[in-house]
Structure 1
């Protein structure tokens, strides 16, 4: 069975998707926000959801520069009663924290860094929270976010060595929501245009701007290339289904794609969701059915013994790690389109 299944995978996959799991479409015909969203739903998926700074650059590239009037995206303000807390760093879910009393309009801040030997920086310049966020994203990665970073020994050492009362971290609350219902926390407001009383958001040449008016503007839609199938099937049945009805089981090649896919697990009906990750005991390695090399890894237990007839599934809760499961187990699954 193992050899025949490998042959099936290789014969069925003559080419692979090298693009993103979602793409942006720029529509130049000016419309009101509600009209723009209806157009996007009818012709694509929805108004654009923006998940990180890379998406900001992709939007600008899709429009070949954003007009001075701005362009609608899928961020809208709901009622104050729906305010939620978020971490500034994309991909982290806010669950708990320790609160203290006291407020100040200007504070020091902590920045976090990815892929460097020094991971945290204490910035002594006093800034507003939005200024601190913009500074960290421009010069490092983001404001320190998540309990894992806050409990890090390196950060604790920096805190103990500094003399200050308060310092900003990457935690904020707002009443803004993405029109597609996703919970992505990414915001990048223009610092001098962040007043209250606004309902809609648009992309500008420097960031995002809030506005109370839904006047006619060009807009961004997005096309989603990932779909969650809420049917419980074995891994091989899921593979056949995706290739017959869509394109293939999903491939995840980086952290941004991981975050995009894991957002959809909140609608799953099984504890795990099949992906296109497969182990061949004949050749002794893991591979993606799209022929992509497994470079980015998010395995929950990499030390677990690899066995024949095992494939990779994503946890629907917790940290959304990948787990090694036997093919005959039945779960929901992700297809790429």
Structure 2
């Protein structure tokens, strides 16, 4: 069975998207107020983006390598609500001290005293804390070092854990027992924020000292240059935004006198476009329009269905032209540091262009030669598997029919979500799928020598 070459790609206009699990995120680069952005997302997709966990946040970060600030679907609410830090945990057990929690409308966090009773506290206070164990059987982790609640949360998440959540009296007693008679942070916090789509996600990713609620800052934007961390902003500000959900079908009228601006190819009925303006025009020609896109030396043919001219997701079947350039040796940079796939991609995009992609047998040979100097058994490539659509794709805007999978890999393999591509550093130097959390050397490509 041949690997399908149909990919969901970003076209460099006002739009990019990335499929993830049961959701799909779309960065819309059209500056709008928060309410305008919400209306747009509800009309074109499902709603402004809801972030359920750090994986969602990492995927949203991949939508932009610029310093863009973009609205997400978090907004101020009327009710201050307690949440567990660990996403998806129900508030089904409480053990407050008498007189607690306090009846006030301000951010707060919860701690446990030496008797196992909970009390409300300012989140900036430094105290010891308890993280969840690495599994249901490994108990809890007591950290004696004193930190603010948010720094304690970051510490636990750095251990691939979170601040402890408590759901029964027995678990509460177990946390008290490991806390060695100290007041400790637990993973309970209070805030007024709610998600536009009504989700109860408790995941938060604030910048330090945020939110500050200054000057009617009642809506939230993610700052891509700062790992997507969040900042509360005035809802009247105009900025790009992130939607989630499947694209809704729409119908657009045919604009007058636009077909004459486009070029007909040698294939009957196929329109050639070479710019985002022409793509927008083609998207409005008829309810269904077939176009050929040419960009960066790669041609792609696709059928557009009626949709917004400013933001469209196209299934593109990419076909390299005869002049598709291979990667010169000077453009390949081997980073002999072990990072996760997402860390490696972020590094390459910050310091160079991107993780390397392989478009031909010639570029495979050049990548293989560089990989021989790696200090890890495999080397990350810009190759990712989507479990939502069950295919592999290159994260750059180009692709190719060239494949070099090891036996049992690629379309022959069975993968979970979160799998990415690597090249064997030695031997036949074929491609394999590995969990993105593994730490490997990686190859970037850059301009010039």
Bin for the TM-score computed over the shorter chain: 0.5 to 0.7
- The answer to whether the Cα contact below 8 Å between 2:70 and 2:242 also exists between their aligned partners in 1 is yes
Residue 193 of structure 1, CA deviation: 2.8
**Structure showing greater Rg:** 2
Q: Which has the higher helix share?
A: 1
Q: Could you tell me which residue of structure 1 aligns to residue 157 of structure 2?
A: 137
CA separation in 2, counterparts of 1:55 and 1:26? Answer: 13
CA separation in 1, counterparts of 2:144 and 2:236? Answer: 40
Q: Could you tell me which residue of structure 2 aligns to residue 172 of structure 1?
A: 189
* Aligned residue pair count: 206
- The answer to whether the Cα contact below 8 Å between 1:112 and 1:140 also exists between their aligned partners in 2 is no
CA separation in 2, counterparts of 1:150 and 1:74? Answer: 37
Moved over 6 A (4+): none
- The answer to whether the Cα contact below 8 Å between 1:129 and 1:168 also exists between their aligned partners in 2 is yes
CA separation in 2, counterparts of 1:215 and 1:19? Answer: 28
Are positions 1:88 and 2:85 aligned together?
Answer: yes
CA separation in 2, counterparts of 1:49 and 1:194? Answer: 17
Are positions 1:202 and 2:221 aligned together?
Answer: yes
SS at match of 2:245: strand
Cα deviation, 1:121-165, whole Å, max 9, x if unaligned, reads: 111222211121122112231100131597167544413xx242x
Q: Could you tell me which residue of structure 2 aligns to residue 54 of structure 1?
A: 55
Q: Could you tell me which residue of structure 2 aligns to residue 299 of structure 1?
A: none
- Using the size of structure 1 for normalisation, the TM-score is 0.55
SS at match of 1:169: strand
> Please, which of 77, 94, 110 is the counterpart of residue 130 of structure 2?
110
Are positions 1:75 and 2:71 aligned together?
Answer: no
Gaps of 5+ in 2: 1-18, 101-118, 248-413, 417-449
Cα deviation, 1:239-287, whole Å, max 9, x if unaligned, reads: xxxxxxxxxxxxxxxxxxxxxxxxxxxxxxxxxxxxxxxxxxxxxxxxx
Go from structure 1 to structure 2 and tell me whether the alpha carbon gap of 1:72 and 1:19 turns closer, same or farther (over 3 Å shift). Answer: closer
Q: Could you tell me which residue of structure 2 aligns to residue 128 of structure 1?
A: 148
CA separation in 1, counterparts of 2:204 and 2:170? Answer: 21
Residue 203 of structure 1, CA deviation: 1.2
- Using the size of structure 2 for normalisation, the TM-score is 0.42
- The answer to whether the Cα contact below 8 Å between 1:109 and 1:143 also exists between their aligned partners in 2 is yes
- The answer to whether the Cα contact below 8 Å between 2:130 and 2:163 also exists between their aligned partners in 1 is yes
- The answer to whether the Cα contact below 8 Å between 1:111 and 1:142 also exists between their aligned partners in 2 is yes
SS at match of 1:78: strand
After superposition, the CA RMSD in angstroms is 3.0
Q: Could you tell me which residue of structure 2 aligns to residue 64 of structure 1?
A: 64
CA separation in 1, counterparts of 2:170 and 2:41? Answer: 39
Q: Could you tell me which residue of structure 1 aligns to residue 206 of structure 2?
A: 189
Go from structure 1 to structure 2 and tell me whether the alpha carbon gap of 1:64 and 1:149 turns closer, same or farther (over 3 Å shift). Answer: farther
Gaps of 5+ in 1: 1-17, 226-292, 296-337
CA separation in 2, counterparts of 1:149 and 1:57? Answer: 35
Q: Could you tell me which residue of structure 1 aligns to residue 23 of structure 2?
A: 22
- The answer to whether the Cα contact below 8 Å between 1:113 and 1:140 also exists between their aligned partners in 2 is no
1:273-288 matches, within 5 Å, as none
Go from structure 1 to structure 2 and tell me whether the alpha carbon gap of 1:74 and 1:88 turns closer, same or farther (over 3 Å shift). Answer: same
CA separation in 2, counterparts of 1:142 and 1:148? Answer: 18
Are positions 1:158 and 2:178 aligned together?
Answer: yes
Residue 195 of structure 1, CA deviation: 1.6
Go from structure 1 to structure 2 and tell me whether the alpha carbon gap of 1:212 and 1:130 turns closer, same or farther (over 3 Å shift). Answer: farther
- The answer to whether the Cα contact below 8 Å between 1:76 and 1:199 also exists between their aligned partners in 2 is yes
Residue 221 of structure 1, CA deviation: 0.2
Residue 118 of structure 1, CA deviation: 3.6
- The answer to whether the Cα contact below 8 Å between 2:92 and 2:167 also exists between their aligned partners in 1 is no
CA separation in 2, counterparts of 1:58 and 1:189? Answer: 17
Go from structure 1 to structure 2 and tell me whether the alpha carbon gap of 1:175 and 1:193 turns closer, same or farther (over 3 Å shift). Answer: closer
CA separation in 1, counterparts of 2:242 and 2:169? Answer: 34
Go from structure 1 to structure 2 and tell me whether the alpha carbon gap of 1:196 and 1:64 turns closer, same or farther (over 3 Å shift). Answer: closer
CA separation in 1, counterparts of 2:209 and 2:189? Answer: 18
